[in-house]
Structure 1
């Protein structure tokens, strides 16, 4: 019996690579995105494609229902769709805070609530929630995004124990920086933040970081994340968490440090980046 997987956010990056990895492994893949035109090429390769906005209950009910009607079961749900609006906590508009939580927290929760009853009834299934290294350790300028991923982590930890009796697995995949358009879009979003004037050092530091060629330091290719997601869906007893990349692996150690150490570290980095020496070096 062919196994089925539903993947959100497949227009590019991790979602697209995940769809291709599952397809190559012989799964029946349902690749979804808000704009179906963005995933037409996945349809050409053999994926089932569908419009799915994770903030719309009707979309979720329709797509999950289609999978169950066509195949009688859903084996794996990959909650990958995500949205980030960087900026100091005070500066990020409340509507953007709500938007991030709607996509990053309520979206996965909506999908879980729709797919889980089918998995429980069958006594089999895997839910993969794509989190982030900043879902374990928050960093200045990404507080709202980190908060949404912290929430996803907490929900996943509780859910994992709640569904254990039904042989349903809940997995967190936690990439560090990934070489995708996600960060390009997030970087563009910061230009739209109405600045309070209180955090110019942060914006200066952020701009200096963007001036460095080569993208995000330590970034991994999205296929590495996709293959990790596939591996977690294929093993009988997956781990609770899968950090991906050196940055994510280091986060497991950094998060146990005293908060005051982390605060001093962030302060030191900020001071260095905004110094005249750093400006000269980067400029």
Structure 2
């Protein structure tokens, strides 16, 4: 039997890199995709195929899928991991930046799924793994655009799961909590740059510190935990539809489900140090 074939996006670091290595160790033929090939030399050394891919560029995604089919003849697993968090007050974030975040976090994943599905349907088998976040179930201060993308990807995943089940294709959502990656630093830097001055400055400073402060860093889970969960999902005969893993994911999702909106708002203010009153 030929080994199963997996495509992992956002594979130059963090969760994507760990997932590519994990699936490779399990015997998968892995194609690791990211915009910059020079950041994936460690994956090349490990025997992982690397593909230059920009999930906001249709030609780039088409070429990547065509390369995989030409070289391996099939695609069994698609891990939509590429994404980032652009925090800032709704009033401050430009609509162009908001669109860019949706292009990467939502439309990139959706378009790559469209390109992979004909091959999976032909095989009558496959797994699509969408990396959302506990942020696809909860809300935090100054994160509206980021949370909007993750809520959207959760909904798309649910609808997609119904559509492709008759073809033997699984759709799995992974909802990470706090993970030791570059994500928090990038999001905090963007938050400070976007809302660090003006009406929302006090909130921005408090929220940024809660994201990258020592207390937060100590509690974050390693990317390998998410990689192991993805591997568990794609090798299961009947995977769960959702896996909430990593620091804070399960308890936060549980509290959001059972607390009222205002009670959860109060919890978020307390956890992040955001004042109820404007400065």
TM over 0.5: yes
Distance between the aligned counterparts of 2:197 and 2:185, measured in 1?
23
- CA spacing shift, 1:95–1:195, aligned 2, 3 Å: farther
Match status 1:130 vs 2:128: no
1:265 corresponds to which residue?
A: 267
Within 5 A, what are the aligned runs for 1:181-192?
181-192=182-193
Q: Given the alignment of the two structures, is residue 5 of structure 1 paired with residue 19 of structure 2, yes or no?
A: no
**Could you give the per-residue CA deviations for residues 202-242 of structure 1, whole angstroms, max 9, x where no partner exists?**
12312443673254463110000011111111111111100
For the residues of structure 1 that align with 2:29 and 2:262, how far apart are their CA atoms? 48
* 2:225 pairs with 1:224: yes
Alignment match, 2:157: 156
Q: Specify the alignment match of 2:66 in structure 1.
A: 65
- Structure 1 residue 252 displacement after superposition: 2.8
TM-score, with normalisation over the residues of structure 2? 0.92
Q: Secondary structure of the equivalent of 1:2? A: coil
For residues 212 and 166 of structure 2, what CA distance do their matches in structure 1 show?
A: 51
Q: For residues 4 and 211 of structure 1, what CA distance do their matches in structure 2 show? A: 36
Deviations 1:84-111, CA, capped at 9 Å, x for gaps: 1111221112111111100000000010
Stretch of structure 1 that moved more, 176-185 or 25-34 = 176-185
TM-superposed deviation, 1:186? 1.7
Moved over 6 A (4+): none
Partner of 1:26: helix, strand, or coil?
coil
Match of 2:41 in 1: 40
Structure 1 residue runs of 5 or longer lacking an equivalent are 276-283
Aligned mates of 1:211, 1:18 — CA distance in 2: 24
Distance across 2 between alignment mates of 1:100 and 1:216: 24
Query: 5 Å matches for 1:141-220?
Result: 141-193=142-194, 197-209=198-210, 212-216=213-217, 218-220=219-221
Q: CA deviation at 1:200?
A: 2.8
Question: Is contact 2:184-2:211 (8 Å) kept?
Answer: no
SS state of the match for residue 193, structure 1? helix
Q: CA–CA distance in 1 between the matches of 2:92 and 2:274?
A: 21
Call closer, same or farther: CA 1:116–1:234 in 2, change over 3 Å: same
The CA RMSD over aligned residues, in Å, is: 1.9
Quick check: 1:125–1:169 contact (8 Å CA) kept in 2?
yes
**Corresponding residue for residue 76 of structure 1:** 77
SS in 2 for 1:128: strand
Deviation of residue 268 (structure 1)? 4.1
How many aligned residue pairs are there? 274
Matched residue SS, 1:88:
coil
- Give me the whole-angstrom Cα distance separating, in 2, the residues matched to 1:269 and 1:33: 34
Task: Write the distance in 2 (CA, Å) between the matches of 1:50 and 1:87.
Answer: 32
Tell me the residue number matched to 2:26: 25
Indicate if the aligned counterparts of 2:269 and 2:275 stay in contact, CA closer than 8 A.
no
Residues 269, 232 of structure 1: alpha-carbon distance in 2 compared, 3 angstrom cutoff = closer
Residues 53 and 59 in structure 1, CA contact (< 8 A), matched pair in contact too: yes
Q: CA deviation at 1:131?
A: 0.5
